[in-house]
């Protein structure tokens, strides 16, 4: 039996590498974004390349002209999303950590996307009301990938800043399978479960979620469409 057959994580990573090499190969800007993030000491929690390509395709299929991203990190997912926009499109990404935001701005500029992509610094629950006050949106797609305990609040804000037909994507919703634990003290899992409950009972949303395995381990995403 091969090592990959014995080690699920090794097999998952090998399949991700196979798919990525064929369908989502790295280019100079994406490679540089990850390298700059590593050099700056950012946590290695960016989406996988094939997940970034999925976000890109969702935005393209959606015909998105405006995108809101909650949680920027080093801007790797921001590059995938911003590349799906037309020249007059706009991506606003919200990042809590000023150091992370600066890395992301440099990465977006290196990718030639600083004309369509803007990174705003501060706690998202503070900057989201500012977006509403200035009349930003409605956004065609919202990608939520920030602190998981606040996932319910982020989805509530996504609903306020979208329109019927918009798409909301929430990352890391399976939590290695721990999402099924209703007795957990883990704030990330509790916030994710509350988010699922909110989405399930809100008639304005039509949603599903799927489990993923790969270089990022075992997790998943939720995809919702705003219907009213």
φ/ψ region of 71 (left if φ > 0, alpha if ψ in -120 to 50, else beta) reads left
Q: Please say whether the beta carbons of 84 and 56 come within 8 A.
A: yes
Mean per-residue pLDDT, 74-80: 98
Of the candidates 70, 21, 88, the one whose C-alpha atom is nearest the C-alpha of residue 48 is 21
Instruction: Report pTM.
Output: 0.96
For residue 67, give the CATH number of its domain: 3.40.50.150
Estimate to the nearest angstrom the gap between the alpha carbon of 98 and the chain centroid. 18
User: Tell me, what's the pLDDT at 5?
Assistant: 57
Structural domain containing residue 10: 3-226
**Around Cβ 87, how many Cβ atoms within 10 Å?**
6
Task: State pLDDT tens for residues 151-204.
Answer: 999 999 999 999 999 999 999 999 999 999 999 999 999 999 999 999 999 999
β partners of residue 217: 214
Domain count across the chain: 1
Category of 75 on φ-ψ map: left (φ > 0), alpha (ψ -120 to 50) or beta: left
Please determine, for residue 1, whether its predicted confidence score (pLDDT) is greater than 80.
no
For tokens 């381990």, the residue is 217
């Amino acid at each position: 039996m091969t090592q990959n057959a014995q080690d699920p994580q090794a097999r998952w990573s090998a399949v991700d590498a196979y798919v990525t090499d064929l369908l989502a190969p790295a280019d100079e800007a994406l490679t540089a974004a990850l390298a700059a993030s590593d050099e700056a000491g950012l946590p290695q929690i960016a989406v996988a390349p094939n997940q970034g390509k999925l976000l890109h395709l969702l935005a393209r299929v959606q015909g998105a002209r405006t995108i809101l991203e909650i949680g920027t990190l080093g801007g790797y997912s921001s590059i995938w999303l911003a590349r799906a926009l037309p020249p007059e499109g706009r991506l606003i990404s919200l990042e809590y950590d000023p150091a992370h935001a600066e890395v992301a701005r440099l990465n977006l500029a290196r990718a030639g996307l600083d004309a369509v992509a803007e990174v705003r610094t501060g706690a998202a629950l503070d900057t989201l009301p500012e977006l509403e006050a200035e009349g930003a949106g409605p956004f065609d797609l919202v990608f939520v990938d920030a602190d998981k305990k606040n996932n319910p609040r982020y989805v509530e804000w996504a609903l306020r800043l979208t329109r019927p037909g918009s798409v909301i994507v929430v990352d890391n919703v399976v939590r290695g399978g721990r999402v099924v634990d209703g007795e957990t003290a883990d704030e990330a899992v509790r916030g994710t479960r509350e988010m699922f409950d909110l989405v399930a009972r809100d008639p304005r949303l039509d949603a599903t979620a799927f489990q993923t395995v790969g270089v990022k381990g075992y997790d998943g995403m939720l995809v919702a469409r705003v219907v009213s």
